[in-house]
């Protein structure tokens, strides 16, 4: 087992372990922190695949922006630990069965297909994931989606501000009659 | 078997992460954890896209991942704003209580 293969397996196992902890932790703050660890492992995989730009964007966007958003929301809501009512055990069991069935179906389908048998070159030496190459693609072939997505970000920003604004009526209702 | 990394390894890793996300969405009631599970699923798909893009030397996959990340960021911003609204109205982020918004 070469060094890079060992790194891949290490990252993969940490990612899966932390992903399981994300959905099993009782406290949403712990879930959030484990999600950060998962994102770090995925960013490590991007580095192994020589997609440096995406690795950096992953760290900035997910581990930076989105996680801060999650943590701030959790702190703003000031949740108690027992705020989550327990779903019945049967439903949890059925959910796990459903997810496991999908996993099993995909794994069996993969076993029956013949994939390209050539091993991946890791660390990859192609220049595909470099920022120069991606920038050329982004501003020539994908320039219209790029501009469209900037509009979508603007719309999402306005939407978040409008949704988060509390109107006067809402304040009065909240202070006088809290809906339980 | 463990000497080299094949594309299969990345497919299996992505499928496992995706299914963990599915189980999270199906079993949790906390709306924020639900959102995290959705993020997990999006990331699994991203990982697979990057793996294939790196394997075939095609940058289109990585550009798509870039777009998916942008969409995910926008989705989280709007979704968390909706959760905050939900909490203000029902004092809970349990998704089972969101039917109280009807009245």
* Sequential pLDDT tens for chain B (103 residues): 566 777 888 899 999 999 999 999 998 888 889 999 999 999 999 999 999 888 888 888 889 999 999 999 999 999 999 888 888 887 777 887 777 776 6
| Residue B53 belongs to some domain of the structure | yes
| Residue B16 belongs to some domain of the structure | yes
| Residue B11 belongs to some domain of the structure | yes
ipTM value of the model? 0.90
Task: Report the distance separating Cα B15 and Cα A106, nearest Å.
Answer: 8
Range 62-101 of A in CB contact (< 8 A) with B: 62, 65-66, 69-70, 73-74, 76-77, 79, 83-85, 87, 91-92, 94-96, 98-100
Q: How many domains does chain B have?
A: 1
CATH of the domain at B66: 1.10.287.3510
> Which of B33, B73, B54, B94 is CA-nearest to residue A8?
B54
**Burial classification of residue A112, based on how many CB atoms lie within 10 Å of its CB (0-12 exposed, 13-18 middle, 19 or more buried):** exposed
| Residue B103 belongs to some domain of the structure | no
**Burial classification of residue A167, based on how many CB atoms lie within 10 Å of its CB (0-12 exposed, 13-18 middle, 19 or more buried):** exposed
Flag if A31 and B66 touch (Cβ within 8 Å).
no
In angstroms, what CA-CA distances link B74 with A40, A62, A174, B44, B86?
A: 20, 12, 28, 18, 18
| Residue B87 belongs to some domain of the structure | yes
DSSP structural state of residue A119: P
The mean pLDDT value of chain A amounts to 83
Flag if B36 and A70 touch (Cβ within 8 Å).
yes
Domain that holds residue B38: 7-92
């Amino acid at each position: 087992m070469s060094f890079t293969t060992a790194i891949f397996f290490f990252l993969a196992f940490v990612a899966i372990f932390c992903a399981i902890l994300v959905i099993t932790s009782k406290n949403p703050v712990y879930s959030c922190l484990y999600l950060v660890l998962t994102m770090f492992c995925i960013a490590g995989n991007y580095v192994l695949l020589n997609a440096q730009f995406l690795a950096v964007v992953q760290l900035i966007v997910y581990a930076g922006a989105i996680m801060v958003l999650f943590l701030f929301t959790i702190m703003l809501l000031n949740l108690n630990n027992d705020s989550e009512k327990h779903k019945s055990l049967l439903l949890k069991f059925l959910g796990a069965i459903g997810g496991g069935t999908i996993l099993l179906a995909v794994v069996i389908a993969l076993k029956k297909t013949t994939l390209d048998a050539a091993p991946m070159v890791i660390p990859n030496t192609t220049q595909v994931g470099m920022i120069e190459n991606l920038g050329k693609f982004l501003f020539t072939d994908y320039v219209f989606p790029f501009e469209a997505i900037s509009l979508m970000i603007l719309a999402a920003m306005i939407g978040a501000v409008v949704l988060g604004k509390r109107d006067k009526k809402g304040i009065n209702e909240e202070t006088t009659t809290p809906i339980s | 078997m463990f000497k080299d990394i094949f594309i299969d390894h990345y497919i299996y890793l992505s499928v496992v992460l995706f299914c963990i996300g599915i189980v999270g969405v199906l079993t949790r009631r906390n709306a924020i954890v639900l959102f995290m599970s959705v993020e997990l699923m999006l990331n699994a798909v991203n990982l697979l896209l990057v793996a294939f893009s790196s394997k075939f030397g095609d940058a289109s996959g990585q550009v798509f991942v870039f777009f998916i990340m942008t969409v995910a960021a926008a989705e989280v911003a709007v979704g968390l704003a909706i959760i905050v609204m939900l909490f203000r109205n029902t004092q809970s982020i349990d998704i089972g209580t969101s039917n109280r918004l009807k009245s």
